[in-house]
Amino acid sequence: MQNLPPLSLYLHIPWCVRKCPYCDFNTQAIKGNIPHQEYVDHMLTDLEQDYCLTDGRTVNTLFIGGGTPSLLSVNALQSLLAGVRQRLPMAPDAEITIEANPGTVDTDRFAAYQQAGINRISLGVQSFNLEKLSSLGRIHDAEEARLATQLVSTLGLNNFNLDLMHGLPGQSLTEALDDLAQAIVLAPSHVSWYQLTIEPKTLFGLHPPELPDDDVLWDIYQRGDRLLKAAGYFQYETSAYAQLGFQCCHNLNYWRFGDYLGIGCGAHGKLTQSNCTVVRTVKTQHPRGYMQSNYLAKRYQVASADLPFEYFMNRFRLLEAVPRVEFTNFTGLEEHVVRAALDQALAGNYITENDSHWQVTKKGQLFLNSLLEMFIL
């Protein structure tokens, strides 16, 4: 394969103050002290062991997620980023993002992030409604969310995201739109606005709350979409809106079927090899096992029959046109392998096609699962 996909790096910090009832991420509520530097040292060794899968490529984006990465000490974070730069070639203009909980940040911490090279912040606000925040198990309130946003702006970190959820337990259309209106006043460059879904292995999965019905959810989506667009944000992905030039490059690489190293507890990686195979990695979930140097839980090659679904599952989340040549470049498969599925999608008006690109239609966006099922070979 001549054109290997762009490479990103994901670093997972598993700890949080407490587990939110909707969260199915690999997180651990704090019990005792966080082993800050010890964990970082293990992550760097984990990175060294995976380096052979990168083919020497430069990292274009880096994302520190969790859990609550802002719980990691400033010294440990600086050590982590310095260690990454020693082990991997990083693009000079690499986008470097950290997720932060508004209840765990302050001016000194944000300033230290900036000095360490972080140039993008993602704040997990979720809602500005105290009752809704309480039902979601969040540890911050609306005022802390506003203060965190002001701190980011004061430091000149203008590339920042606000995470917001809608379809919350008992949420009305008015409450959902009020959350968006309060977010817009804070002028984030990016808004991730996604619907709460109930995952099986969560507290909400065991004890489902009463959620808004489908009619209310549809009204929230339509009115919220118009509100964001009227405020100067454009939708570029199913749940992502940005001001011009502020799309999240890291997530774009995921959705364009780019490659990524996954480092840290439970992190997932996808690495395309020079022989056209795609390798996926999964790291040990629990910090106890991970910090015994047992980093790798699973490594496997994606079967050729699964690559079309995996490719389009990511690619069709984006609203941009898909270059047809990219399918072969990034999967090693010829287009005739998916021709029948493409023809079915065209006939159903889920996509359009020209000589160079495929484009998801409005129907394809609204019925994405139905579209993607066509590519299960």
Per-residue pLDDT of 327-368, as tens digits, reads 999 999 999 999 999 999 999 999 999 999 999 999 999 999
- Per DSSP bridges, beta strands 7-13 and 259-264 are parallel
Per-residue pLDDT of 148-183, as tens digits, reads 888 888 888 889 999 999 999 999 999 999 999 999
Query: Among 153, 151, 99, which Cα is nearest to 125's?
Result: 99
The structure tokens listed for 107 are: 């001016």
Rounded CA-CA distance 289/293 in Å is 7
The structural domains of the chain, ordered by start, are 7-253 (3.20.20.70), 322-377 (no CATH)
Predicted confidence at residue 56, as pLDDT, reads 94
- The owner of tokens 């006939």 is 347
Q: Is the pLDDT of residue 97 over 90?
A: yes
Pick from 20-24, 181-185, 302-306: least confident:
20-24
Predicted confidence at residue 40, as pLDDT, reads 98
Rounded CA-CA distance 212/167 in Å is 6
Mean pLDDT of 81-87: 97
Mean pLDDT of 279-306: 97
Predicted confidence at residue 1, as pLDDT, reads 43
- Contact criterion met (CB below 8 Å) for 67 and 256: no
Mean pLDDT of 179-203: 92
For residue 161, the tally of other CB atoms under 10 A from its CB is: 24
Using a cut of 0.85, tell me whether the model's pTM lies above it: yes
Predicted confidence at residue 7, as pLDDT, reads 98
Structure-derived torsion over alpha carbons of residues 166, 167, 171, 177, reported in degrees to the nearest 10: 40
At 315, is the secondary structure helix, strand, or coil? helix
Per-residue pLDDT of 104-155, as tens digits, reads 777 888 888 899 999 999 998 999 998 998 888 887 888 888 888 888 888 8
Rounded CA-CA distance 232/6 in Å is 29
**DSSP label at residue 166:** E
Mean pLDDT, the chain, integer: 93
For residue 1, the tally of other CB atoms under 10 A from its CB is: 16
Report the percentage of the chain scoring pLDDT > 90: 76
Signed CA dihedral, 111, 117, 120, 124: sign only: negative
Mean pLDDT of 10-15: 96
Predicted confidence at residue 2, as pLDDT, reads 57
Predicted confidence at residue 340, as pLDDT, reads 97
